[in-house]
Structure formats: structure tokens, C-alpha cells
Amino acid sequence: MIWELDMAILTLVLFCAVGAITVKDLLGAAILFGAYSFMMCLLWAIMGAVDVAFTEASVGAGVSTVFFVAAVFRTTRRTKD
């Protein structure tokens, strides 16, 4: 519950989210989404939700990034928007 840290990471989360949906490369979007998930994990650790932070660190930042990369590998990196 350190509010300065909380506000700084919230701002970073916002930048990661905007980056993940505007970058014109799907592999880049997948990696930025991984960074976004990891920032989320830090945010939950600050709020004292350790179980949720642990789950997000393993699920959101780990496995779902791998799923995204696998799906991009099986389809295409090209995107128009």
C-alpha cells in the first residue's frame, strides 16, 4: 500500500496497454501484452493480493504470452492496424 509506487506503475500499465493495441506487429503486441501482465502482477503485489499476483505472474506473464507467440507463429505477423 505505497501510493507513490502504485501511481507510477498504474501509469506504466496504461502505456503498455496503449502500446499493445497500437503497435503494427503482432509479435510486438504479444510481447507488450506480456509486459502489461507483469506490471499488473506488481500492482496486485502492492495491493497485498499475493495469491492473485502469483497467479498473474505464472499465468498472464508466462503461459498466455507463450500462447500468443505460438498463435502468431502459426498464423501471421502482419496487421493493418
Partner 1 sequence: MSGIVATIIAKYNYWIYICLMMIGLYAMITKRNLIKKIVGMNIFQTAIILFYVSIGAKRGGTIPIIEHAHGGQSHAVEAVHYINPLPHVLMLTAIVVAVATLGVALALAIRIYNRYRTLEEDEILSRIRGS
Partner 2 sequence: MKKLGLLLVILSGALLLYATVDFPLWGDPSSPASLHVSPRYIEKTMEETSVPNIVTAVLADYRGFDTMFETTVIFGAGVVCFLLLRVLGGEEGDHYYRHLPTGVTIHVKGAKGKSLSGEFERIDMLWTPYDLVIKTACRIMIPFIQIYALYVIAHGHHSPGGGFQGGVILGASVILLAISQNLRTALRRIGEKTVGILCAIGVFIYAGTGALCLALGRNFLDYAALASVLGTDPVTARSHGILIVETGVGIAVMATMIWIYNNVSSAGRYDEGL
Instruction: By CB under 8 A, name the binding residues for partner 1.
Output: 1, 3, 6-7, 10-11, 13-14, 17-18, 20-21, 26, 29-30, 33, 36-37, 40, 43-44, 47-52, 55-56, 59-60, 63-64, 67-68, 70-72, 74-76, 78-81
CA dist., res. 74 & res. 61, Å (int)? 20
What distance in Å separates the CA atoms of residue 76 and residue 12, rounded to the nearest whole number?
A: 28
Q: Does residue 5 bind partner 2 (CB under 8 A)? A: no
**Exposure on the CB side of residue 33, measured as CA atoms within 13 A:** 19
The CA distance from 8 to 20, in Å, is 19
**Interaction site with partner 2 (CB under 8 A):** 1, 3, 50-51, 53-55, 58-59, 62-63, 66-67, 69-71, 73-74
